[in-house]
């Protein structure tokens, strides 16, 4: 159901909160500012990652008050997903793993699977990523707020693309800070293309679980976790193949579910 919203205000708050921490961090990393130790310690907490969640909660409260915030957060606990559990859990591991397998067929050497050196860390990392590695901080914003409200103004595909661009551009200051993630060691267009294509896939999860932000949270978790366990981004060949697989997945979604809602209508089911 359409509710009062302001996606523009959400973007201002989400970006403003995050960049308040990330821009100084980038200035320090580029040698443009020598920050006091107290500020450096605050920046080390990575509070900027919480911007999308802060933006979603604050904007929802302004326009829908406490009841709206309660509903926003409640959708993060919608765990009755039926067959979508398997779709959400397996889509990104299959796509990312598939890109590595195909790269080997094309003669590219496999990168080192560092995460597999300590198998006990795999489930621990999954939980860590869910709560502190991006999904919880971001998905209430990108899908739970932006996509949710944009799809009442545009068709679901356009809404997912816009939300994906918001997701990608939000990371801009981090490209000026030394980071371990492979995304930040490649051109930014790669991240933008990834967030648009992966954003459509995550929006598909969200739309088919009746606006269940939990599906988006779990999908984002599997996306981050799979990129860590299966290091396709360390291989140029696998990275290019992965773009192709993401694109084919999106084509399949549009073919089977349509761009208007990314869900199957009753006529399609029958």
Identify the CA nearest to 167 among candidates 136, 132, 128, 194.
Answer: 194
Task: For residue 133, name the pLDDT band (cuts at 50, 70, 90).
Answer: very high
Which two tokens mark 141? 């914003």
Given a cut of 90, whether residue 141 has pLDDT beyond it is yes
Residue 27 and residue 177 in contact, taking contact as beta carbons nearer than 8 Å: no
Helix axes 84-105, 236-257, angle to 10 degrees: 140
Which two tokens mark 112? 């080192």
Q: What residue has token string 């790269």?
A: 103
Given a cut of 80, whether residue 265 has pLDDT beyond it is no
Which two tokens mark 142? 């990108």
pLDDT in tens, 231-254: 999 999 999 999 999 999 999 999
pLDDT score recorded for residue 1: 52
Q: What does the mean pLDDT of the chain come to?
A: 94
Domain edges within the chain: 75-269
pLDDT score recorded for residue 179: 86
Residue 201 and residue 157 in contact, taking contact as beta carbons nearer than 8 Å: no
pLDDT in tens, 2-35: 678 899 999 999 999 999 999 999 999 999 999 8
The single-letter DSSP state of residue 84 is: H
How far is Cα 221 from Cα 90, in angstroms, rounded to an integer? 11
């Amino acid at each position: 159901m359409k509710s009062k919203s302001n996606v523009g205000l959400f973007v201002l708050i989400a970006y403003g909160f995050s960049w308040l921490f990330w821009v100084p961090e980038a200035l320090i990393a580029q040698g443009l500012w020598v920050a006091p130790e107290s500020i450096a310690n605050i920046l080390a907490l990575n509070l900027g990652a919480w911007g999308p969640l802060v933006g979603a909660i604050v904007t929802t409260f302004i326009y829908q008050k406490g009841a709206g915030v309660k509903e926003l957060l409640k959708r993060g606990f919608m765990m009755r997903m039926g067959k979508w559990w398997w779709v959400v859990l397996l889509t990104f591991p299959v796509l990312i793993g598939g890109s590595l397998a195909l790269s080997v067929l094309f003669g590219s050497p496999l990168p080192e699977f560092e995460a597999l050196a300590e198998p006990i860390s795999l489930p621990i990392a999954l939980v860590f990523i869910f709560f502190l590695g991006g999904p919880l901080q971001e998905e209430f914003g990108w899908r739970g707020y932006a996509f949710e409200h944009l799809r009442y103004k545009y068709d679901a595909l356009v809404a997912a693309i816009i939300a994906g661009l918001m997701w990608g551009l939000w990371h801009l200051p981090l490209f000026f800070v030394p980071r371990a993630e492979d995304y930040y060691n490649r051109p930014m267009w790669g991240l933008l293309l990834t967030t648009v294509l992966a954003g459509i896939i995550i929006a598909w999860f969200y739309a088919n679980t009746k606006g269940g932000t939990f599906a988006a949270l779990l999908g984002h978790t599997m996306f981050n976790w799979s990129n860590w366990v299966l290091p396709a981004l360390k291989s140029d060949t696998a990275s290019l193949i992965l773009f192709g697989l993401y694109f084919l997945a999106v084509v399949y979604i549009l073919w089977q579910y349509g761009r208007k809602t990314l869900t199957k209508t009753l006529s399609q089911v029958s």
